[in-house]
Every structure is written in C-alpha cells, then in structure tokens.
Amino acid sequence: MTEEFIFGKLSDGTPVRAAKLSNKNGMCLTVLDYGATVQSLIVPNAAGKPIDVVLGYESAQEYEENDAYLGAVVGRVGNRIGGAAFSLGGKTYTLAKNDGANTLHGGTRGFDKRTWDLCCGENEIVLHRVSPDGEEGYPGNLDVQVRYALGEDNVLTIAYTATSDADTVVNLTNHSYFNLDGGGSVLNHKLTIGAERFLENDNGCLPTGKFLSVAGTPFDFREEKVIGRDICQENEQLRCGSGYDHNYVLSGGTAAILRGAESGLCMRVTTDLPGMQFYSGNFLTPRRGKGGQQIDYRYGICLETQLFPNGLQFWGFPSPILHAGEQMYSETSFAFTAE
C-alpha cells in the first residue's frame, strides 16, 4: 500500500513530497523526493514493537543541510574520486574538491541535494531524474531511476537504472545509517561481512589500489562479530578511516548481516555489486534526529553497496564507465527478520 503526502518545504519554498509504502506485517518505508532519501524504515520486532531502523530528520530543511547524507542516494559517483578529476575518452573532467583534494558523493550538489520526480506503484516508490550534461562537471545527460520495492516477505529492494547520451561515469548507492535498535551507539550491534579482502585506504579514505586480506586483522567480519570489539585496536587502516570506512571486496552471496543488540532485529544485505563501503559513522557529529532523538558519533552504520571507489584509477577495479546508449542496472536487497 502506498500513500503520498507533503513532507515539508525547502528554504526556497519548494515542497518536498514523500511517499509511504507499507506491507501487511507492519513494515513501513518513507521516501522523500529530495535526495531520493529513505527518511524512515519501520520494522516491527518479534514483540510487535515498531522500530525505525534508519537515522533521519524531522524537517525538509534539515535534509537540505544534511552534511552526513542521511538516507540519501549518492551520485552521480558515490564515494571518492581521487584528485577531483578523471579522464575519459582522452578528455579530462574537473570536479569539485569537497573532501580535501578529492570529490565525495557526487560533488558540491550531488544527487542527495536534488529534487527527483516521485511516483508510486502498488508495492513500490519510483524516483526519477535527468542529471544534465555538465552537472557537477560530469559529461552526458544521465537518465536515472531508483526504485524502492517492499515485499510481504519484509525485503526492501533498491534497484538503480541509468542511461546516458554520452560516455560518463556512474556509481550509485544509498547512504542510510542503520541502527537496528532504533537508537544509541551501534558499536554493540553484531556484523558479518561476506568478504575476504578489503581495499587499503590512504589518509583521505581513498583506495590506494592495493587489496588487503582481512585475515588476522580488525577488518575480519567473516564470522559474526560485535562491531566495537576491534574498532579501537592499534591499526594503521583503522587510523586512516578513524574507524571502519573501507570498501570490502564482496565474495558473492550475502554481503552483510547486521543484528541489533536489543531489538532482536536482523538485516541481511544482498547485492549484485562487487563492493561495499562499511562506514561506522566515524564523522557523525551530535545532532537532533526524528522525534527529537539524539544522533551522535557512531549511532548508525552505512553498508553502501557499490563499485570500488576511484574505479577509473586502477586496473583490476570494476569500471564505473557507462557508455552512451548502454544501460546500467544494479540492485541491493535488505531482508529483515525478527528473532
């Protein structure tokens, strides 16, 4: 069942529309047309208590100021592009340096700060926009669609489709911060990641091109582990990310399983994408969230399925190039169970 409503207004008066999608089990997703943002995702636990498992804000204007990308779709290229420039077809494209010397999450005004067309189907919310040629420095008119579908099996699927009229680069993901207890630190959540390797980062959280084995390191989540167990260990890579802020090289199958500490809720992530940025909310500063709720350092984790960051730079990284006339498609599912 879907329902549409006006969520609020941006500072220039533009209305922000929202759509609510619910299933028979009481699971309910709210998506905004601004940033194609997941504003709320309510999942009942085994005792029937509704738990909002994503961090979010109460007002449209807070989303406008949203420096942490809460719930948004990031693009045209999510994550980082080293040196804020890339070459394609013999031409160099210069982008905004909005993260030190690099570009982060699409630039100064990425997809998270744009209003999308929103429409609803029976069990889905579909967002669409055309990112014009030259927007944030990227070539090609990019036609993008993000489809959120909620099944009666408590599976939320996010499907991304994009086409361009000129060769360009694309790497889309959703930047929801999950907290399966509905609040508090996530360091007590348990996490499994289906990856044997992760990408080494430099000090700016940019991959160096080197693949590292998780074995014997704090990055090993092949067996379920409490997130906070090793996060403070003396480790060069943890220091670079100020915690976990790394792209895992997914082995295939389940990408991740997250388990709340108190709610009994569990979330299983599957994807057709090769990488997943595990970001432990290390740069999340104190702020007010929905219903006046406190948001703070490491109160949510992002499991951002994607192509490897800075993919044009390294041989062996999956290519983010989308050729003119071709279609890019990817999907990621979040399956919820209550124990």
Residue closer to ligand BGC (CB basis): 111 or 279: 279
Using CB under 6 A as the binding rule, whether residue 111 contacts ligand BGC is answered as no
Inter-CA distances, 289 with 55, 142, 182, 213, 295, Å: 7, 32, 11, 37, 6
Structure-derived torsion over alpha carbons of residues 244, 248, 253, 259, reported in degrees to the nearest 10: 0
Residue 337: exposed, middle, or buried by beta-carbon count in 10 A (0-12, 13-18, 19+)? middle
Q: How far is the CB of 34 from ligand BGC (least distance, A)?
A: 17
Please confirm, yes or no, whether 304 is among the known catalytic residues. Answer: yes
Residue closer to ligand BGC (CB basis): 294 or 327: 294
35-72 per-residue burial string, b: 16 or more CB within 10 A, e: under 16: bbbbbbbbbbbeeeeebbbbbbbbebebbbebebbbbb
Using CB under 6 A as the binding rule, whether residue 283 contacts ligand BGC is answered as yes
Q: How far is the CB of 160 from ligand BGC (least distance, A)?
A: 16
The neighbour count for residue 200, using CB atoms within 10 Å, is 17
Using CB under 6 A as the binding rule, whether residue 304 contacts ligand BGC is answered as yes
Give the interface size with ligand BGC as a residue count (CB under 6 A).
9
d(CA 73, CA 116): 11
Asked if residue 266 lies in contact with residue 339, where contact means CB atoms within 8 angstroms, the answer is yes
Using CB under 6 A as the binding rule, whether residue 112 contacts ligand BGC is answered as no
Q: How far is the CB of 185 from ligand BGC (least distance, A)?
A: 17
Task: Choose which of 160, 279, 308, 334 interacts with ligand BGC (CB under 6 A).
Answer: 279
Task: Choose which of 18, 186, 269, 302 interacts with ligand BGC (CB under 6 A).
Answer: 302
Stretch that binds ligand BGC, among 38-46, 54-62, 275-283, 289-297 (CB under 6 A): 275-283
Residue closer to ligand BGC (CB basis): 33 or 245: 245
Asked if residue 160 lies in contact with residue 330, where contact means CB atoms within 8 angstroms, the answer is yes
d(CA 96, CA 83): 9
Query: Of 112, 146, 170, 148, whose CA–CA distance to 27 is shortest?
Result: 148
Residue closer to ligand BGC (CB basis): 135 or 304: 304
Stretch that binds ligand BGC, among 34-42, 131-139, 252-260, 276-284 (CB under 6 A): 276-284
The active-site residue out of 105, 124, 175, 246 is 175
Residues 141-200 contacting ligand BGC, CB under 6 A: none
Strand 155-164's sheet: what is its strand order?
Answer: 117-120, 124-131, 142-150, 155-164, 327-338, 265-271, 254-259, 190-193, 225-226
The neighbour count for residue 90, using CB atoms within 10 Å, is 5
- Binding mask 25-64 vs ligand BGC (x if CB under 6 A, - otherwise)? ----------------------------------------
Which ranges of the chain would DSSP assign to H, the alpha helix? Answer: 60-64, 236-241
- Binding mask 69-108 vs ligand BGC (x if CB under 6 A, - otherwise)? x---------------------------------------
Task: Choose which of 245, 257, 287, 310 interacts with ligand BGC (CB under 6 A).
Answer: 245
d(CA 102, CA 333): 30
Asked if residue 175 lies in contact with residue 73, where contact means CB atoms within 8 angstroms, the answer is yes
Residues 200-229 contacting ligand BGC, CB under 6 A: 205
Residues forming contacts to ligand BGC in the complex (CB under 6 A) are: 68-69, 205, 245, 277, 279, 283, 302, 304
Which residues carry out catalysis? 175, 304
